[in-house]
A and B are shown apart, each in its own frame.
Chain A
Amino acid sequence: MTIKTTMSNSYFKLIRSGINTTYQDKGRENLYHIGIPYSGAMDNRNFLIANKLVNNNLNSPVVEFAYQGPHLKYKGDKISIAITGDVIFKIIKNGVENIGDCYESYQIESGDEIDIISTNKTIYGYLAIGGEIDVKFQWESCSINTKAKIGSNDGKKLENNQTIKLLKLNSNKDKKKLDYINSKVENIRVIKGTNFNYFSEEGKQNFFEKKFIVSKLSDRMGMRLQGNKIDNIVNTNIKSEGLIRGVIQVPPDGNPIIMLSDHGTIGGYPKIGVVASVDYDRLVQISPGSKIKFTEIQLTDAETLFKLYEMDTDNLLSQI
Chain B
Amino acid sequence: MINKILNLGDSALYCDFGQEVNKEVNSKVIKYFYSIKKSNIEGITNLTPSYNKLIISFNLSITNFKKIKKEIEMLNIDYENKIINKEIQIPVCCEDSFSLDIKRLEKKLNLKSEQILEKFFNKKYFCYMTGFIAGMPFLGDLEENMRANRLETPRVKVPKGSIGLTEQFANVYTFESPGGWNIIGITPLNIFDSLNESEPNLINAGDTVIFKEISYYDYKNYNE
- Contact at B194–A244, with CB atoms within 8 Å? no
Q: Known contacts A242-B50, A242-B55, A277-B60; decide if A265 and B131 are in contact (CB<8 Å).
A: yes
The reply on A183 being an interface residue by CB < 8 A is: no
Residues of A within 8 A of B138 (CB): 240, 266
Residues of A within 8 A of B21 (CB): 239
Q: Known contacts A33-B130, A147-B177, A266-B132; decide if A244 and B9 are in contact (CB<8 Å).
A: yes
Q: Known contacts A244-B8, A266-B131; decide if A34 and B200 are in contact (CB<8 Å).
A: yes
Residues of A within 8 A of B9 (CB): 191, 244, 246-247, 274-277, 302
Residues of A within 8 A of B192 (CB): 35
Q: Looking at chain B's contact residues, is the secondary structure mostly helix, strand, loop, or mixed?
A: loop
From B7, B12, B33, B136, A35 is in contact (CB under 8 Å) with: B136
- Contact at B64–A303, with CB atoms within 8 Å? yes
The reply on A138 being an interface residue by CB < 8 A is: yes
**Shortest CB–CB separation between residue B174 and chain A, in angstroms?**
8
Within 8 A of A (CB), among B178-220: 192, 194, 197, 200-201, 204-205
Residues of B within 8 A of A302 (CB): 9-10
- Contact at A240–B50, with CB atoms within 8 Å? yes
Q: Looking across the interface, which residue of chain A has its beta carbon closest to that of B54?
A: A242
- Interface segment among A24-32, A53-61, A74-82, A102-110: the answer is A24-32
Within 8 A of B (CB), among A243-285: 243-244, 246-247, 264-267, 271, 274-277
- Contact at A299–B7, with CB atoms within 8 Å? yes
- Interface segment among B41-49, B77-85, B106-114: the answer is B41-49
**Shortest CB–CB separation between residue A137 and chain B, in angstroms?**
10
The reply on B162 being an interface residue by CB < 8 A is: no
Docked Cα-Cα span, A241 to B52, in Å, equals 8
- Contact at B11–A33, with CB atoms within 8 Å? no
**Shortest CB–CB separation between residue B35 and chain A, in angstroms?**
14
Residues of A within 8 A of B1 (CB): none
The reply on B161 being an interface residue by CB < 8 A is: no
From B14, B47, B64, B175, A33 is in contact (CB under 8 Å) with: B47
Residues of A within 8 A of B120 (CB): none
Q: Chain B 1-22 against A: per-residue CB contact (8 Å), 1 yes, 0 no?
A: 0000011111110100001010
**Shortest CB–CB separation between residue A39 and chain B, in angstroms?**
11
Residues of B within 8 A of A265 (CB): 48, 131-132
Residue among A33, A193, A244 with the highest chain B CB neighbour number at 10 A: A33
**Shortest CB–CB separation between residue A31 and chain B, in angstroms?**
7
The reply on A310 being an interface residue by CB < 8 A is: yes
The reply on B129 being an interface residue by CB < 8 A is: yes
**Shortest CB–CB separation between residue B57 and chain A, in angstroms?**
6
Residues of B within 8 A of A31 (CB): 46
Docked Cα-Cα span, A275 to B45, in Å, equals 18
- Contact at B50–A35, with CB atoms within 8 Å? no
Residue among B51, B131, B175, B201 with the highest chain A CB neighbour number at 10 A: B131
Docked Cα-Cα span, A299 to B11, in Å, equals 9
- Contact at B132–A35, with CB atoms within 8 Å? yes
The reply on A7 being an interface residue by CB < 8 A is: no
- Contact at A242–B48, with CB atoms within 8 Å? yes
- Contact at A36–B64, with CB atoms within 8 Å? no
Q: Known contacts A35-B132, A310-B61; decide if A276 and B10 are in contact (CB<8 Å).
A: yes
Q: Chain A 157-168 against B: per-residue CB contact (8 Å), 1 yes, 0 no?
A: 000000000000
Residues of A within 8 A of B28 (CB): none
- Contact at B10–A35, with CB atoms within 8 Å? no
Contacts A32-B55, A299-B10 known; 20 new A-B pairs at CB < 8 A: A29-B45, A31-B46, A32-B48, A33-B46, A33-B49, A33-B130, A34-B135, A138-B194, A147-B177, A148-B175, A150-B134, A150-B194, A194-B8, A242-B55, A264-B132, A264-B133, A266-B132, A303-B10, A303-B60, A306-B60
Between-chain CB contacts (< 8 Å), 15 pairs? A33-B48, A33-B49, A33-B205, A191-B9, A193-B8, A242-B54, A242-B131, A244-B48, A264-B131, A266-B48, A266-B132, A267-B132, A274-B9, A277-B9, A310-B61
Interface residues of A (CB under 8 A from B): 29-36, 38, 138-139, 147-150, 155, 191, 193-194, 239-244, 246-247, 264-267, 271, 274-277, 299, 302-303, 306, 310
